[in-house]
Structure 1
Amino acid sequence: MEAVYTHGVWVAEALQTETRRYEDFWLFATHLGDPKAAFLLVFPLAFYLHRRSGVAVLWVSALSEWLNLVFKWILFGQRPYWWIGESQLFVKNAPKVEQFQSSCETGPGSPSGHAMVTGAVWWVVVSALASFLHSRTGSKVLAAIPYLFYTLLLVVVGLSRIFILAHFPHQVIGGTITGVILGVLLNRTVPESRHLWFFLCSSMALLFGALLMYAGLENLGIDLSWSISLAKRWCLKSEWVRLETAPFSSLNRDAGSLLGLGLAQYWKPGGWDLPWIPRTLCLALASMALFHISRFPLPTVPALLFYSLFFLKYTIVPQVVMVVVPGFVHLLTAKPKKD
């Protein structure tokens, strides 16, 4: 793998050198491809446009990110920003590359979670949009436009991950291909009207399944915290290494969101049938609420408290989008019944 990693470093250097003036664009693209954006941005947008698609986005987000975590624990992929220093291959010929705050993720690098989750989640959105356009217009050309956008998005997000030294090119390609496959497969089995017990079991299966796997690998003498120590050692600024990017954070996000999805459908099966204007208001209110929820600071010590609150935070997200905000808007806009 040494030759593959070395080639990847030079690709990243060339990308940074040739596109440095587009730095803000690449940073925006990497934030757009962040797995948490699927939960906080794509999910509410898709849900208020089409309920089934919104549920599918949340379902696919959770499962694809969880599988990405499992793959990372198995594949032990390096990340460029620490491998450059760790390999000792560039002492005399150091590449002219720069780290960014988004570079310093603490999990293993293969496959790219941004590419994998983006590929899976946005497949749900574009396939639904393409079907809608084709059913309304009968035009295959119009129906193809969402897929062109999808391809462009995958390319841009993938390049952004290489640009900021978060991933090597082969990790981005592997994540993208895996994500597209997962999007196609998982979109066929969306639990739109399953019982709360199903979501509770699914949530606990993700949580304890990963913990059992972690414990089993640790008992075999495999140190799964190796990437965290490398991140702390080679990240340019210590404050860029955040607990929010740790593998267990993504695990709690996935498990919490599935439990929240089950609770939301339990509280209000079928949801509210709102016209377009109230749904637009729902999107605006939910976006503001999720913005503040995502920015709410959590104590990082002890770590168990942080992970517990992180789980709770993402359990709340579906409640806000599917129950609280639509219920509030329904009360505001419902016409009073005549006697």
Structure 2
Amino acid sequence: MQVLPLGVRQGSPPSAVPSPNVVWEAGVPAAGLGSTKGQQQLNQVVGTKMIWVAVIGDWFNLIFKWILFGHRPYWWVQETMIYPNQSSPCLEQFPITCETGPGSPSGHAMGSSCVWYVMITGALSYTVRWKDKSAVTLHRLTWSFLWSIFWIIQISVCISRVFIATHFPHQVILGVFAGILVAAAFERTPAIQTASLRTYIQTNLFLFIFALGFYLILKLLDIDLLWSVPKAKKWCANPDWINIDTTPFAGLVRNLGALFGLGLGINSEMFSTSCKGKNSCKMSFRILCIAASLAMLQLYNFVKIPTHTEYLFYILSFCKSAAMPLTVVALVPYCIHSLMRTTEKKVN
């Protein structure tokens, strides 16, 4: 079998790393539901904010990991000197254990907390307008229920990451609270809802140049920010479990692609025509958009990006990540809008 860059082999399992693409598959299509114009606008706000939070949160996670130099349990127990007479514990590894980046803070915990924070606060914003006493009581019960669900999910994510030996407890705890801080900051950043395509491009360039510049400056200082990759290759129980998707720059490229695709979609003529027209108020239109979007996103999952050339992998990852939000935001609604308009003309 031909060995690929960074120890990746052909046929490697797909990455389980959380990314904006996961947000598109799980949350954004569902954010399209809404029976009133106000609900639709609120759902659009929540969907847009989810992607921004996922992208910026993952970017901060990358920078934090480069600063904190956190080890992962599956290689740390093999190299630490605190266990005498080679009595280090034997940690079981799984296909999703062997991530190649540094471990602190946990990207899964941070991504989960920031995205779910946006979803919970978005759902609660429906109930804050209720005025009568019974509605206030219902709001309080809803508040308690949703935040209980939030913490149950975060605790489950943290336990699972520790169980598979890819994070220490303090790393997942740090990830959860860092994600909440990022999401809370975006609650006070309304400008993202009216951002132009130019703003999206400028944000993409800033995130990329800052991350790349940070990496190159430290490399000139003889500090290798990819120090964790050799450790992962050395101590992973199965080389087939090492995936290029888990490398720091792979995540960065996916994030930039998703943000660019969102900006392209929201600022396109297709979005203006379909999602701001009269059909956008119809429940049938929105249900069809959700169903078609979910189907298209599943088709994207079948697209396998070649990993034999690292730079080609990054370019294609960017294109695939950009295509997913562009499809959900603009292409699918426009096609359904055109189809419904054609059908209405035939009926009339």
Q: Specify the TM-score bucket, using the shorter chain as the normaliser.
A: 0.7 to 0.9
Confirm whether residue 321 of structure 1 aligns to residue 314 of structure 2: no
- Counterpart of 1:236, as a letter, is A
- Counterpart of 1:312, as a letter, is C
Distance in structure 2 (CA, Å) of the matches to 1:46 and 1:77: 35
- Counterpart of 2:235, as a letter, is W
| Secondary structure of 1:135 counterpart | coil
Greater relative contact order (Cα < 8 A, sep 6+): 2
- Which residue is 2:97 aligned to? 103
Aligned pairs (5 A) from 1:19-168: 34-35=18-19, 36-48=21-33, 50-90=43-83, 92-136=86-130, 137-138=135-136, 139=138, 140-168=140-168
- Counterpart of 2:254, as a letter, is R
TM-score between the two structures when normalised by the length of structure 2:
0.83
- Which residue is 1:27 aligned to? none
- Which residue is 2:182 aligned to? 182
* 1:116-148 residue CA offsets vs partner (Å, 9 max, x unmatched): 111111111000101213435432112332111
- Counterpart of 2:230, as a letter, is S
Dislocated runs of 4+, deviation >6 Å: none
- Counterpart of 2:107, as a letter, is G
Give, in angstroms, the shift of residue 88 of structure 1. 4.8
Confirm whether residue 303 of structure 1 aligns to residue 310 of structure 2: yes
- Which residue is 2:39 aligned to? none
Q: Given the superposition, is the C-alpha separation of residues 307 and 263 from structure 1 closer, same or farther in structure 2, using an over 3 Å criterion?
A: same
- Which residue is 1:15 aligned to? none
Give, in angstroms, the shift of residue 42 of structure 1. 2.4
Distance in structure 1 (CA, Å) of the matches to 2:90 and 2:310: 36
The answer to whether the 8 A contact 2:46-2:118 is kept is yes
- Which residue is 1:12 aligned to? none
Give RMSD over aligned pairs: 2.1
Give, in angstroms, the shift of residue 236 of structure 1. 1.1
- Which residue is 1:245 aligned to? 246
Q: Given the superposition, is the C-alpha separation of residues 88 and 39 from structure 1 closer, same or farther in structure 2, using an over 3 Å criterion?
A: farther
Give, in angstroms, the shift of residue 115 of structure 1. 0.8
The answer to whether the 8 A contact 2:32-2:286 is kept is no
- Counterpart of 2:94, as a letter, is F
Distance in structure 1 (CA, Å) of the matches to 2:28 and 2:79: 38
| Secondary structure of 2:304 counterpart | coil
Distance in structure 2 (CA, Å) of the matches to 1:296 and 1:187: 35
Identity %: 34
The answer to whether the 8 A contact 2:74-2:166 is kept is yes
Distance in structure 1 (CA, Å) of the matches to 2:281 and 2:330: 12
Distance in structure 1 (CA, Å) of the matches to 2:158 and 2:171: 9
Distance in structure 2 (CA, Å) of the matches to 1:102 and 1:48: 34
Which of 291, 299, 304 is the matching residue for 2:298?
291
The answer to whether the 8 A contact 2:57-2:114 is kept is yes
Q: Given the superposition, is the C-alpha separation of residues 89 and 45 from structure 1 closer, same or farther in structure 2, using an over 3 Å criterion?
A: farther
Distance in structure 2 (CA, Å) of the matches to 1:224 and 1:57: 29
Structure 2: 5+ residue stretches without partners: 1-14, 35-42
The answer to whether the 8 A contact 2:78-2:88 is kept is no
Give, in angstroms, the shift of residue 45 of structure 1. 2.6
Give, in angstroms, the shift of residue 47 of structure 1. 4.6
- Counterpart of 1:167, as a letter, is H
* 1:278-323 residue CA offsets vs partner (Å, 9 max, x unmatched): 3223222212211221341111122111001111111111111101
The answer to whether the 8 A contact 2:305-2:316 is kept is yes
Larger radius of gyration between Structure 1 and Structure 2 = 2
Distance in structure 1 (CA, Å) of the matches to 2:179 and 2:315: 28
Distance in structure 1 (CA, Å) of the matches to 2:120 and 2:239: 39
Distance in structure 2 (CA, Å) of the matches to 1:209 and 1:55: 23
Distance in structure 2 (CA, Å) of the matches to 1:248 and 1:40: 22
- Which residue is 2:172 aligned to? 172
| Secondary structure of 2:129 counterpart | helix
The answer to whether the 8 A contact 1:46-1:57 is kept is no
Q: Given the superposition, is the C-alpha separation of residues 47 and 232 from structure 1 closer, same or farther in structure 2, using an over 3 Å criterion?
A: farther
- Which residue is 1:206 aligned to? 207
Distance in structure 2 (CA, Å) of the matches to 1:283 and 1:95: 48
Distance in structure 2 (CA, Å) of the matches to 1:48 and 1:76: 42
Distance in structure 2 (CA, Å) of the matches to 1:214 and 1:43: 32
| Secondary structure of 1:133 counterpart | coil
* 1:250-279 residue CA offsets vs partner (Å, 9 max, x unmatched): 111111111111110121455512423332
Distance in structure 2 (CA, Å) of the matches to 1:294 and 1:86: 37
| Secondary structure of 2:224 counterpart | coil
- Which residue is 1:279 aligned to? 286
Distance in structure 2 (CA, Å) of the matches to 1:45 and 1:60: 17
